[in-house]
């Protein structure tokens, strides 16, 4: 059985950039320094790990939950205004995978309800056989739990399954799960460590599709 498991933010949607912009707007209002640096460290992690990283940076008394809610309101306002964009080539590869009988899943550190909401926003939910959100597992990426969970849900052999990621933590997670990690960079370029963990690196989803079906 041929399967592909996709991360969501920064892979299917241009949402990482929109979250970063929303955090930078919040930081500017409240005078929070170096927020971009912290956000980049949070890429690929779940809500609990992101919270931990912010408190590690700014101290235990940092009002993270208040600022996160403010950032989130800005983010969803931007989504409502149509500023969340689908990454180029996403619909095409999902159609091609479906037409060729491949199984697909999402393994996203984002909460499942939010994943489904964003899928519905673009009419993509029916394109995936399984959706695994960050609240469905105990351990965040870079731990392999979420990818192993997705493979079990699909009935897939991890060693024969592609995992499509943009973040370092995501690539580490997929590699630790024994999968075939594919990186399509978004906010972060590949490093020597990440290059050593990936099966392939592509500049866009279109090139990945061509690799699968050429």
- What is the band of 187 on the pLDDT scale with cuts at 50, 70, 90? very high
Distance CA 77, CA 71 (A): 10
For residue 214, pLDDT beyond 90: no
What average pLDDT does the chain have?
96
Mean per-residue pLDDT for 113-125?
A: 92
Cβ neighbour number for residue 77 with a 10 Å cutoff: 11
**pLDDT, average across residues 146-159:** 98
Instruction: Give the pLDDT mean for 167-178.
Output: 97
CB 183, CB 190: distance < 8 Å:
yes
Radius of gyration of the chain (CA): 17
Helix ranges (DSSP H) in the chain: 15-30, 35-42, 47-58, 64-80, 90-99, 112-121, 145-154, 168-176, 192-197, 205-213
Contacts of 142 (CB under 8 A, 6+ apart): 44, 168, 169, 170, 172, 173, 176
- Beta bridge pairs of residue 104: 4
pLDDT of residue 169: 96
What pTM was estimated for this model as a whole?
0.93
């Amino acid at each position: 059985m041929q399967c592909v498991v996709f991360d969501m933010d920064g892979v299917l949607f241009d949402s990482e950039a929109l979250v970063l912009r929303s955090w930078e707007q919040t930081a500017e209002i409240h005078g929070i320094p170096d927020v971009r640096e912290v956000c980049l460290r949070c890429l690929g992690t779940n809500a609990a790990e992101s919270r931990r990283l912010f408190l590690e940076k700014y101290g235990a008394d940092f009002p993270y939950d208040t600022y996160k809610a403010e950032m989130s309101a800005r983010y969803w306002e931007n989504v409502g205004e149509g500023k969340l964009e689908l990454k180029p080539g996403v619909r095409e590869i999902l159609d091609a995978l479906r037409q060729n009988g491949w199984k697909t899943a999402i393994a996203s550190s984002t909460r499942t309800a939010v994943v489904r909401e964003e899928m519905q926003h673009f009419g993509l939910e029916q394109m995936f056989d399984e959706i695994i959100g960050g609240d469905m597992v105990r351990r965040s990426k870079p731990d392999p739990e979420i990818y192993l969970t997705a493979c079990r849900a699909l009935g897939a052999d991890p060693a024969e399954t592609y995992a499509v990621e943009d973040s370092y933590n995501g690539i580490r997670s997929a590699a630790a799960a024994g999968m075939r990690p594919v990186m399509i960079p978004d906010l972060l370029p590949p490093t020597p460590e990440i290059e050593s963990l990936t099966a392939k690196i592509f500049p866009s989803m279109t090139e990945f599709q061509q690799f699968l079906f050429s």
